[in-house]
Amino acid sequence: MALVFPYQVFRGPGPVWTLRGRPGRPRPVFTVTVIGPAGDWAGPALLDTGADDTIFREDVAARVGLDLSAAPTGAASGVGAVGFPIRYAEVRLRLTDGNEFREWPARVGFTAAPLKRALLGHAGFLQFFTATFDGHRERVELAANALDPGP
């Protein structure tokens, strides 16, 4: 079985010319839960096939009880953006579409960068799934693959 998530439509300041005047952009955004040693956090995340890592804001790390003071570090940047430091830690991620449920250990990054929502990239997220993007139906289907460590 697979998890299926409908895209959310995000309105902008006007019609989107590239989408023939549509009033918003559909994006694969859904709720993911981060589980740490002292609690959990659930919030919106963008499934981003261009992101190397799965990234959350630093306040999420604090909320779930992670001490990042001695964490491994790296850097990340978006299109035309200045690089931001990333600190990595292992957490458990949980995902449900209301029908199916997955939970797994994942190495993810945390940043002070002003993220609108978390980014679900290859490492920590997409590496464990086969993703099928359906532009016509505006949904994404995630099927656990052979790398999925299971519950």
Higher-confidence residue of 65 and 151: namely: 65
Of 52, 9, 3, 10, residue with least CA distance to 32? 3
What is the per-residue pLDDT across 50-108, written as a single tens digit (0 to 9) for each?
999 999 999 999 999 999 999 999 888 766 666 789 999 999 999 999 999 999 999 99
What is the per-residue pLDDT across 15-34, written as a single tens digit (0 to 9) for each?
999 999 999 999 999 999 99
Backbone torsion region of residue 80, taken as left when φ is above 0, otherwise alpha when ψ lies between -120 and 50, otherwise beta: left
Kindly calculate the radius of gyration of the chain based on its CA atoms and give it in whole angstroms: 16
Other Cβ atoms within 10 Å of 109 Cβ, number: 30
Identify the structural domains of the chain with CATH numbers, from first to last.
28-131 (2.40.70.10)
pTM of the model: 0.92
Q: Which residue has the tokens 């052979």?
A: 146
